[in-house]
A = this chain, B = another copy of it.
Amino acid sequence: MFAECLEQVRKTTPLIHCITNYVTVNDVANVLLACGGSPIMSDEPEDVADITSICGGIDINIGTLNMRSIEAMHIAGKKAAGLHHTLLLDPVGAGASRLRTETAVSLMEELPFDVIRGNVSELKALALGSTTTKGVDADAADAVTDRNLDDMVSFAKSYAKTTGSIIAITGAIDLVADADRCFCIRNGRPEMGRITGTGCQLSALMTAYVTANPDRPLEASAAAVCLMGLAGEIGWSRMQEGDGNATYRNRIIDAICNIDGETLGKGANFEIR
């Protein structure tokens, strides 16, 4: 199933409109090309409706939001929704500032997101109104662990039901849930946290995967999460003495470039709850 999701991306080359932060945008573009998709970036209100029209999906990431790009997110999102494109929200830093939380909430009220992907602190901030003190990284206190897995699965399903979106909570254990089913995924490595932008990259991958697999958005979302984690494992296995996070960053994108359907199928490590 995951193998088919991957091959569908490579076959259809989904064109993804990214309104994303300038910190990790180059990696986001390269990871979309690596997986078989194609990126286009535009965040000017006068430009985004045209650009999103020729795409198949939109990835809205609020990582370095500003008043102009927020306006562009709303315009592009409405256009994409009208065209029944895939819509994904990455609420970077929700809970860390009033503007970020309010922007995420306002976009969610207005737009029918297919997927909302964030770390547990961001998702809790949106669902429960809690705030974080760790910036764009998840608070340790919030981590999904084997001890609280049942509770977190319930939270993910319940928030998926409330929002009508697939909820992806990524961390040591990744959860990808709709109202009924939750993929609990154990791919990846802790060292991925030493690289900026693996979350942003994943959001772009998920947008491409759902766009290329419109009939099975939950499986496609889970496939992208497993792919990212598996790439982290394969990339790590190629690290040599003296390598660090800069090389690891490259090795992960390289792995996404090279992983085929069979490798993803065999390497994906998940259970469905």
Contact = CB atoms under 8 A, between A and B. Distances in A.
Contact of A22 (B25, B93, B252): B25
Given A25-B22, A244-B254, A246-B250, A44 B15 contact: no
A170 to B, nearest CB: 17
A171 interface: no
B27 A135 contact: no
A142 to B, nearest CB: 15
Given A33-B245, A41-B23, A68-B66, A99 B55 contact: no
A240 to B, nearest CB: 9
A260 interface: no
A134 interface: yes
Nearest to A70: B44
Given A23-B26, A24-B26, A246-B34, A51 B256 contact: no
Identical copies in the complex: 3
Contacts of A21: 41
Given A47-B65, A99-B47, A135 B54 contact: yes
Interface string A185-197: 0000000011111
Contacts of A203: none
Interface in A1-56: 15, 21-27, 29-30, 33-34, 38-44, 46-47, 50-51, 54-55
Given A67-B46, A194-B34, A51 B93 contact: yes
A136 interface: yes
Given A54-B133, A93-B40, A246 B30 contact: yes
B97 A51 contact: yes
Given A44-B66, A54-B133, A96-B50, A196 B250 contact: no
A251 B247 CA distance: 7
A253 B44 CA distance: 30
A224 B3 CA distance: 41
